[in-house]
Every structure is written in structure tokens, then in C-alpha cells.
Amino acid sequence: MTAEELFAAAMAEMPLVAVLRGVRPEEIEAVGAALVAAGIRIIEVPLNSPEAYESIARLAGLAGDDVLVGAGTVLDVEAVGRVAAAGGRLVVSPHCDPAVIEATVEAGMVSLPGFFTPTEGFAALNAGAHGLKFFPAEAGSPAVLKAMRAVLPRGVPVLAVGGMTVEGLAPWRAAGADGFGLGASLFSPGMTAEAVGEIALRFVGALRD
């Protein structure tokens, strides 16, 4: 299964991205297993985490073809190559950089760049992005996203990222968010794998309901 096919399947099954900022290599496998058991199918390790590439490599070895694993906070083309070498198949950025997007697509990985305006969104899509990350969502609103969804291509997945809570998913979903990135509301350094899994179950349950 290609990375793009895995992304489509994961979004159809459970459109949540676990963002494990600050996770350490020695805990990544336990946390990753707890997330997968809860129903999460997309996991992102931000590159400003300790030894992020090592965590990506360990998680990729654990996940196989059932889970899309990759990196967040990918800021340049060099990092794209290192993510691919570590076994990552997903590149998430906080910004829209056509060079990063193009390098990601050329490497056969899924590109999810950040955008906050229609201009950035269309620039990302023109560069080949597979989906868009509306970020930081807490600086916008569901109404803003709804307005942009009126002009963005219907088939493009848009994920709302930033400040998501279990109770707050419904308004974003109604506004056109296809999925969500879960950061500090799901994981913070020092949490046990069990605690992360329990929170993940609540988010998964909210979407399934």
C-alpha cells in the first residue's frame, strides 16, 4: 500500500492525527501501541522532539502497513530526506513551503502542509499537497474554515489542528473539517502510555458517535 493509499484509508477509518510533541524514543513504542489500540491510525512525531528521527524509526518498525507514521514541524527539504530515511511516510509542516511539499511528494510520502488563508491553501495544492492542515485553528474559528471550504476543492482533506478538545470537535466537523490533529490535548511529556490511550479513546468515541 502506498503512503497516499494508507492516508486515504486511515482518514476514512479514523481521521485523527496524534501529535506526540516531546515524546522520547524509549517511550514511543508503548505510547504508539496504546494509540493504535484506541483506534488511531495516523501518528506524527514533531522534529523538535528529543531524538525525533529515532522515535520515527522505532514507531515505523512497530506500525507496519496499518498505521501512517511520520514527522511534524518539518521546515526544510533536508528534513524531508531524513524523515524518509527513518521510515516515515508522512510530512506535516506548520507552513506552506512549495519546496518541502514537492520534495515530500517526490519521495513518495504524504504531504500535509499548514495553511491559514486561501492563498496559502491553493499554493500548497498547486505544489502537490495531499491535504491541508488548518493551523493554528485556535486563532481562527469554524466559521472561517467554513468560508474557505466553499472555495477549496471538495475532495481535498482539511484537518483542523490546534486547541482541539473532545467537546469541541462537533462545530469544526460541521464547518467542513475532515479530520483533526491532536497535540497537547492528547499527549504531553511525562504522561503514561495508559493515560494517553484513555484520552485517545475519548476522542475516537466522540467521532464515532
What domain range includes position 113?
3-189
Q: Is 199 within the bounds of a domain?
A: no
Strand ranges (E), 51-170: 68-72, 90-92, 110-112, 114-115, 132-134, 158-161
Q: Is 176 within the bounds of a domain?
A: yes
The per-residue pLDDT for range 110-128, each reduced to its tens digit, is 999 999 999 999 999 999 9
Q: Is 201 within the bounds of a domain?
A: no
What pTM, to 2 d.p., does this model score?
Answer: 0.96
DSSP state of 139: G
DSSP state of 100: H
126 neighbors 100 (Cβ within 8 angstroms) = no
The per-residue pLDDT for range 153-192, each reduced to its tens digit, is 999 999 999 999 999 999 999 999 999 999 999 999 999 9
Q: Is 130 within the bounds of a domain?
A: yes
Task: Specify the pairing of strand 132-134 against strand 158-161.
Answer: parallel
Grid cell of 11 as nine digits: 482518514
The per-residue pLDDT for range 26-84, each reduced to its tens digit, is 999 999 999 999 999 999 999 999 999 999 999 998 877 889 999 999 999 999 999 99
Query: Any idea which residues carry the catalytic annotation?
Result: 44, 133
CA 7 to mean position of chain CA atoms: 10
Which CATH number fits the domain that encloses residue 48?
Answer: 3.20.20.70
How many domains in the chain? Answer: 1
